[in-house]
Chain A
C-alpha cells in the first residue's frame, strides 16, 4: 500500500453504467480523499446521481470497481456489496435529492431508525428486548443520547418529538444529514443537500458539513448544483458531463477550466477552442 492509497477513502475505477442502450456513466474514474469534502458536479443529466446510486448500492454498475478503504486498512468492494449491506458493512451513508425522511415518525425516531443495526444486536435480535433485557435499555439510552447530540447540533432539539414531515424544509434537509450521521458512516454521500434552500439555510448547511468533516473525521462526497456551496466548502471537485469525467481537481483549477465553463454555459466546441486559445492554452 502506498501513501496515496491509504490517503484515499474511495477509489472509483472505470465506472460504467448502462440502462439498456443508454450509457449514463461512461468509464469514470476518480478518488475521494479521506477526511476531505469531494464534490461531484455537472449539468443536468450528467450522470452524477447514477454514480451516487452505484456507490450507495442502489444500482449495480455494468463495469468498474468501487473500492472503499476504511482507516483500519480493511477494503470493501462496493460493486459487490449491494443494497443495505453498503451501509451496514462498508458504512457508507447517504441522503436523497428529494428528501426521504420517515415523514410520519418523529425527528428523534428518524435518528433512532438510523441506529437500527447496533440496537438490533443489543436487543438480542428482538428476543432479549421483548423480555426486558437490561443491556438493551442501556443501549437504547446511548442511542437516544447520540440522537440528542445530533438534534442539538442541527438546532432541532426543541422539535425532537415532532413528526419529521411537519418540520420546515431546511430543517428536514439537516435532519436527513443528521440521520445519515447516526448510522456512523466513514463516508457520507449527499445528493444535492442545498437544493431548495435559501441563503441562510445554505450557510447553516455548509457549517454543518464542515463540522462533520473536521470534528467527526467523516469524509464527504456530495453532488451539488449550487456553485457557491461547492466552491466554498469542497476540497476537491470532479466534473461530469454526459456521463464522462471532464475535469478533476481543486476548486480554483476546476472553476477556470474552459471545458467546465463550456459544459455549464452550453457553448459549442469551437468556442471552447477559441476560449482556450485566448486563455493561452
Chain B
C-alpha cells in the first residue's frame, strides 16, 4: 500500500506546489498589470486625461499568467531550469543539419524568386527587404558573431552609406555605381574613427557607446538642416541603371536596348538581383575571412581577449578591422537602400533598426551565416504577417529576444564549423562545449580557485 501511495502523494504535492507557484505568479502579474492594464488613460477633448477601467482585460491577463505558470509547473516540474528540453530533440536535430542541406536550397530559391513572383510586386518588395536585412545581418555578424563585439549602433553605418549616396548624387551627380564603393569606404572610415578610441573598452561599455554613437548620427542628420534637410529627408535620389542603361521607356533605356516591352517590374527585379549579389558578396567575403588568420583572430578574441594578447595579437587592430569590415557592408547596404527607396530620412535609422539587425544575428546563431539568413526571413516574414499589429509585434519581438536568450543563448544554429582541420571538420555545438566543461571542471576548479 505504501508503495502505491508514494507516487500519488508526490503527485499531490507537485500539484499543490504548482498551484502555489501559479498563484504567486498570478499575484505578481496582478501587481504588475493592475494599473498599467486595468486602467487606461485617454486624452479627452479638452486635452485633459480621463480614465477607463478595464477589469475584464486585467482578469484575462492575470488568468493567462496563472494558467501558463500552472501548465509549465505541471509539465516541467523540477526540470524547468533546462528550458532547452522543452523542445524535443526531434525538432532541434533537423535544425542542426540545416546548414548543409538548406544553404544550396535557399540559394536556388532566392535565385528563382523573381521568376516565381514576377507578377507579384508585393512579394518582390518583401524579398528585397529581407535580403537587405540578410546583408545587414551578415555584416553585423562579423562584428558580433565572429569578433564578439556588441555593436548597438550598427544602423549608424547604414545611415552613413545611405546619406553618402544621397548627398553625393544630389550635389555632384555621381551615379550609383560610383557611389556604392564610396559609401562603403566612407562607412568603414566612420567605423574606424569611432572604433579607434572606443574599442579598448570592455564589452558592455562598447555596447552603450556604439548605441550613443548611433543616436548621435541620427540626431545630427535630424538637425543639420542645411545639409540633410532634417526630418524632411532627401528625396529624388537617382535610381540605379543597368550598367548605364536607365530603366525607363526611352529609346536608350533598358527595355528598348534588349528589345523588351517596357515594364516597371524590370527595375524591381534588377534591384532584387542587385541586393542578392551584394548579400552574397558579403557572405563570400565573410566565409573567406574566417579561414584567414584575421578571421581566426576575431573568433579567438570573442573567446578570450586576454589569451589573445598573450599570443601577440594586436587586439585593438583586430577589433578595428572587424568593426570597419562590418561598417563597410552596412555602408553598401545603406546606399542600396537609398537607391531603392529614392527617399531617405532620419526616421529610417532609429535604434529599433539596430536592435532588429542585432536580433537577427542573435536569433540566427552568432557566427552562423545560414542561421542569420533564416532568421532574417522568419523575422521579417513574421513582421509582415502581423502588419496590422504594429505595436504588438514590437512587444512580442522584445519578449522573443529574452526567451531566445534563455532557451538558446547561442541562437538557433549554435554549431560552428572549424576554420581549419586535420582530418574532418566536425560541427561543434557551443552549448555542448559549455556543458561538458561545466561538468568535468567543477571539482578541479574547486581545488585551486
Contacts and interface: CB of A to CB of B under 8 A. Distances in A.
Q: Do A and B come from one complex?
A: yes
A242 interface: no
A11 to B, nearest CB: 21
Interface string B438-449: 001100110111
A64 B441 CA distance: 38
Interface in A86-132: 86-88, 93-94, 96-98, 100-106, 108-109, 112-117, 119-120, 123, 126, 129-130
A161 B423 CA distance: 7
Contact of A84 (B285, B315, B418): B315
Contacts of A57: 309
B311 interface: yes
A93 B416 contact: no
Interface string B271-300: 000000000000001001100111011011
A102 B293 contact: no
B436 interface: yes
Interface stretch (A31-39, A164-172, A246-254, A272-280): A164-172
A100 B300 contact: no
Contacts of B288: 130
B310 A93 contact: yes
A114 B293 CA distance: 10
Interface string B374-418: 000000000000000000000000000000000000000000101
A215 to B, nearest CB: 22
B421 A161 contact: yes
A242 to B, nearest CB: 21
A108 B420 contact: yes
Given A113-B297, A169-B440, A88 B312 contact: yes
Contact of A148 (B289, B299, B422, B444): B422
A104 B292 CA distance: 17
B437 A116 contact: no
B433 A163 contact: yes
B307 A120 contact: no
B306 interface: yes
B424 interface: yes
Contact of B293 (A88, A97, A120): A120
Nearest to A194: B448
Q: Which of A96, A161, A192 has the most chain B CB atoms inside 10 A of its CB?
A: A161
B366 to A, nearest CB: 11
B435 to A, nearest CB: 9
Interface of B: 285, 288-289, 292-294, 296-297, 299-300, 303-304, 306-315, 321, 416, 418-426, 428, 430, 432-434, 436-437, 440-441, 444-445, 447-449
Interface of A: 56-58, 83-88, 93-94, 96-98, 100-106, 108-109, 112-117, 119-120, 123, 126, 129-130, 136, 140, 144, 148, 151, 157, 160-163, 165-166, 168-169, 179-180, 183, 192, 195-196
Top 3 closest A-B pairs, CB basis? A87-B312, A88-B312, A102-B303
Given A94-B310, A102-B304, A157-B422, 13 more contacts: A58-B309, A88-B312, A103-B303, A103-B434, A103-B437, A108-B422, A109-B418, A112-B296, A116-B293, A119-B293, A144-B420, A161-B418, A161-B421
12 contacts: A84-B312, A88-B314, A106-B418, A109-B299, A112-B420, A116-B300, A123-B293, A157-B422, A160-B421, A161-B422, A165-B433, A165-B436
